Copies of this chain bind each other. A is one copy, B any other.
Amino acid sequence: MKLYEIAAFLGCNEIQDSIEITGMNTLKNAVEGEISFLSDSKYEKELSETKASAVILPASKAHLLPEGVVVLNSDEPYMYVALLSKHFAKPIQSSDLPPVIGEGTRVYPTAHIENGARIGANCTIMSGVYIGAEAVIGDNVILYPNVSVYRDCVIGNRVMIHAGTVIGSDGFGYAHTKMGEHIKLYQNGKVIIEDDVEIGANTTVDCAVFGSTIIKQGVKIDNLVQIGHNCVVGEHSIIVSQSGLAGSTTLGRNVVMGGQSATAGHLSIAPFTTLAARSGVTKSIVNKGIYSGFPLMEHKLWLRMQAKLAKMLES
């Protein structure tokens, strides 16, 4: 898509630049030829360093951009990003190259592997598994029946994913019109699952809107867990059944999340933190410790709270 076409779409008809825009990305990660945007003032500090060729943002912020970056003026940048995202959405199929299957790998006859995917050696790809275009699977991986891996996802070595789990489904992201409609922000990122990860059954790990949702080495995830887009789960963390991470939250290494616990989005959880079952995290956790409850508090405070409530009940 030519830049002047995008500009016209945004109503910036004065821009006639005909360079080809190859994709959208965040201010931080955009490269030459990509378009970016400022939809939240907390990213303003990234404007001056962006490598994007053009940026959608309110006119009042344009002076913060490096010289040479084309300004696409909009008072609703997020809405236009959503509208534009559809044009940059990758197709389900995009390669003519038949999938590459490593030595010793067994693929069940009802598995479906898209062109462009690459699977390592000694894997077991069971019945009903779907592996999307350009996905990359390491060695000694077991994908149990009916696992779905969306396009571009990367899975390391010795990973085990149980039946029905979905890797790389679209994150839940929309811009909202004044009429209360929701415009899909097409999710062009992927999921990276590092080595020695095990994921249970019927769990969902959404792909990133841009970039990657990352499940780091040695992480163990139970059944029916939800990992939102752009989350990073630190090395050797443990996430027990029916827990959920909203988008863009980062767990440090060796975090433990008890059953049915949850975190809000855009948080950072200190390494070695333990979240008790049912705990609900709404603020970042800086100091490791054991936390409980919703709202969250230190576990020992939660125990004291329960004692006080029990006393109140008797009074």
Chain A residues engaging chain B, CB cutoff 8 angstroms: 92, 108-110, 112, 124, 126-128, 130, 142, 144-146, 148, 150, 160, 162-166, 169-170, 172, 174, 180-182, 184, 198, 200-204, 206, 218, 220, 222-224, 226, 228, 236, 238, 240-242, 244, 246, 253-254, 259-260, 262, 264, 272, 277-278, 280, 294-295, 301, 304-306, 308-309, 312-313
Contact = CB atoms under 8 A, between A and B. Distances in A.
Contacts of A278: 262, 280, 294
A248 to B, nearest CB: 14
A295 B198 CA distance: 31
20 contacts: A92-B126, A108-B112, A128-B130, A150-B163, A163-B166, A163-B169, A164-B202, A166-B202, A169-B200, A172-B240, A172-B241, A180-B236, A181-B218, A182-B236, A202-B203, A202-B204, A242-B262, A260-B262, A278-B294, A295-B306
Contacts of A253: 180
B224 A224 contact: yes
Majority secondary structure of chain A interface residues (helix, strand, loop or mixed): loop
A203 B170 CA distance: 13
A203 B222 CA distance: 13
Contacts of A220: 172, 174, 182
Q: Which of A128, A163, A174, A241 has the most CB of B within 10 A?
A: A163
A122 to B, nearest CB: 13
A175 to B, nearest CB: 12
A253 B180 CA distance: 9
Contact of A92 (B112, B124, B170, B241): B124
Contacts of A184: 198
B124 A112 contact: no
Contact of A182 (B150, B165, B218, B242): B218
B201 A238 contact: no
A262 B112 CA distance: 36
Given A244-B260, A295-B306, A204 B228 contact: no
Contacts of A304: 313
B277 A277 contact: no
A120 to B, nearest CB: 18
A145 B172 contact: no
Contacts of A223: 166, 169, 172, 204, 206, 226
B226 A242 contact: yes
Query: What are the 5 closest A-B residue pairs judged by CB atoms, nearest first?
Result: A112-B127, A130-B145, A148-B163, A169-B201, A166-B201
Contacts of A124: 92
A241 B238 contact: no
A164 B127 CA distance: 13
Nearest to A303: B295
Contact of A162 (B109, B170, B242, B264): B170
